[in-house]
Amino acid sequence: MAKIVLVTGASAGIGKATAIYLAQNGYDVYGAARRIEKMRDLKDYGIKPITLDVTKDESITACVEQIFKETGSIDILVNNAGFGSEGAIEDVTIKDAKYQMEVNVFGAMRLTQLVLPKMRQNNYGKIVNISSVGGKIALPLGGWYHASKFAIEALSDSMRMEVKPFGIDVIVIEPGGIKSEWGDIAMESLVRVSGSSAYKEMVKGAEKSYKQTENNNSEPIVIARLIKEGIEANKPKTRYAGGSMAKMLLFLRSILSDKMLERLIISQTK
């Protein structure tokens, strides 16, 4: 029987590409997002759209219970829903910071909590957590986003060891630059929050850097293929990196001292 997959954040970008790609390769896919109207076209691929707001426990619970009722289990969970809250740490309100963590961290972990019992019962499961190169390297003006992705990395490592005895794999995906609405939304947030603050010159530099690199970003299918590779491997790697600049940046992180890396990053925001 086809494996049951739940992909969150399936209305655009990586989530949408992943849902379609897995459906085309024989998986039984549910695509979840707040904006169900943006997922109507997924039905053409045999994907079942389902409403999900990862900041509301009742929505998370209803989503999982509906899939369990219709299929009996969720074999593969792709925790992709997320966004980037940009702005200097001094400028971002704690309310907005909490919302960033609710979406990128707590929503993903609550979903995971709800699917794990069935996975343990079946002695099979794949938890795929979409992190980022930004889960290993922190840039200025994105502290809360990076905090959320650093958290996903740590939670994934702890969980991997916890669930391994039950036949469950935890896989981290670390995208680099990917073509999606994510970047434009993040830049709009950055300008709104810190564009007129004490950090405005740094914001200008960040905008310039983004505009110079956005055309080189990779298509979301690159990450969809990595996810498929991970969930189909007999012994998946703990992490898969792909997309524009991903492997190069992670390599630099591994060989440069903190101070050297900081100087390199700051030079790109001037």
Token readout for 254 is 């591994």
Unique residue bearing structure tokens 């996903």: 152
Burial class (CB in 10 A: 0-12, 13-18, 19+), 244: buried
* Annotated active-site residue in 16, 48, 149, 179: 149
Q: How far apart are CA 195 and CA 74, in angstroms?
A: 43
* Annotated active-site residue in 21, 27, 30, 145: 145
Task: Answer yes or no: 98 catalytic.
Answer: no
Contact 135, 144 (CB under 8 A): no
Contact 144, 134 (CB under 8 A): no
Task: Answer yes or no: 126 catalytic.
Answer: no
Residues catalogued as catalytic? 145, 149
